[in-house]
Amino acid sequence: MVVVGPVRNCSATIAAEVARFRSVLSGFASLSFLVVESDSTDDSVQQLRQLAAQVPGFAFESMGVLRDRHPIRCDRIAVCRNVYVERLASDPRYRHIDYVMGADLDNVNHQLSAEAVLSCWRSDVDWSGMTANQRLAYYDIWALRHPVWAPVDCWAAYREMAAVVGHRQAIEMCVASKQVRVPVDAAPIEVESAFGGFAVYRREAFVTGRYVGVDANGGEVNEHIGFHADLRARGHRLYINPAMINADFTEHTYYKTPLGHLRKELMWRVRETADSLHCREQLEAAIDAVKKMLAGSSMERPGKLR
């Protein structure tokens, strides 16, 4: 096994993330890590160096500042992800790897267990990739492609529909309505693309893909879409594994909890009032400032209301 993932400003959390995965995956014959860092403004690189010195099999690469050359977020992430794809394909140190675990290393996998991961090998389907599920509601609609459930880019659809039905209805139609609960005991769901913060791939499939974060017109796209299209073009099959729970909910589905629902309703009322007073931009700036103050640092996330 090798756990791979991109990181930025991870100094406060990366040691705990590595410890969690080492515990969850301790039953495998061997475990290594390959992490790619970029654009950090904290002491992430120093923390990664310490882990490389202390944790057997831990390796990382720093890409420095990518923002100037790759101003689009998913483009930067794609650059970092492709570094470990290429390393796994060509570096002899990773010749022994059988399975690749792609992981978001920002605490989204806090409910992942050994049993959840092992459920991939208890399935009857012939899979090349298995992706995670969340207990309350599946959240990662931007990375999802399914001919019925999510056939198009949800945020492209949102932007188109917002001009017709307004922001709130567009969000409900194009994103929220698709964040549904997938029962843990459901059969694996074959998809064209998915992620959900964690995925297990067979190595021979993983190294055939390349991540792409911008489209032909320079617009931002989810980097998993192109990667999984490459795998499927070579005959590899991808599934959501309902039993592989990595979280109860995430920040993207917190609104489905009772308290989160109340907060969502309040925020929509505030935004609608701001729109009527023509001060939406000032309100969004104030909300961002409060979030940054509460979080202690800024975080890049897809799907933010603009």
pLDDT band at 294 (very low <50, low <70, confident <90, very high): low
d(CA 94, CA 87): 8
Residue 297 has pLDDT above 60, yes or no: no
CATH fold label, 2-250: Spore Coat Polysaccharide Biosynthesis Protein SpsA; Chain A (3.90.550)
Residue 305 has pLDDT above 50, yes or no: no
The strands making up 238-247's β-sheet, listed across from edge to edge, are 58-62, 32-37, 2-7, 99-103, 198-202, 129-134, 238-247, 189-191
Give exposure, 185-210, as e/b (b: 16+ Cβ within 10 Å): eeebbebbbbbbbbbbbbbebbbbbe
As a whole number, mean pLDDT of residues 8-33 equals 97
Per-residue pLDDT at 268: 75
Count of CA atoms in the C-beta half-sphere (13 A) of 266? 8
d(CA 229, CA 211): 10
As a whole number, mean pLDDT of residues 100-105 equals 98
Which residues contact residue 74 at a Cβ distance below 8 angstroms, ignoring those fewer than 6 apart?
Answer: 213, 214, 220, 221, 222, 223, 302
Per-residue pLDDT at 291: 67
Residue-averaged pLDDT of the chain: 92
Q: Where in the chain is the domain with CATH 3.90.550.10?
A: 2-250
Alpha helices in 25-100 (DSSP H): 44-54, 73-90
